[in-house]
Amino acid sequence: MEYEALVARINELAKKSKECGLSEEEVNERAALREDYLCRIRANFHSQMENTYIIDPVTGKKTKVTPKQ
């Protein structure tokens, strides 16, 4: 599922949940869609961090950002 379609469906289910409630099937679908969304966000963040460097203003040396353990 495309990212825009994923977000649109999550929003559609959220709106329906507020208006009239969700069936058990829709609750399960919403949970799966949210998990997929979060996985994509995390993967995007990790990808950005792999390509992020800090440049020392004095020496101009580039240092790769490393994740905390």
Q: Is residue 38 part of a domain?
A: yes
Q: What share of the chain is helix, strand, coil (3-state, %, to 5)?
A: 65, 10, 30
Letter string b/e over residues 43-54, b meaning 16 or more CB atoms within 10 A of that residue's CB: eeeeeeeeeeee
Name residue 23's amino acid: S
Q: How many domains does the chain have?
A: 1
Q: Is residue 47 part of a domain?
A: yes
What pTM does this model have?
A: 0.76
Q: Is residue 40 part of a domain?
A: yes
**Which residue segment(s) compose the domain that 17 sits in?**
3-64
The DSSP 8-state label assigned to residue 64 in this structure reads E
pLDDT tens profile 9-64: 999 999 999 999 999 999 999 999 999 999 999 999 999 988 999 999 999 999 98
Q: What is the CATH number of the domain that holds 16?
A: 1.10.287.540
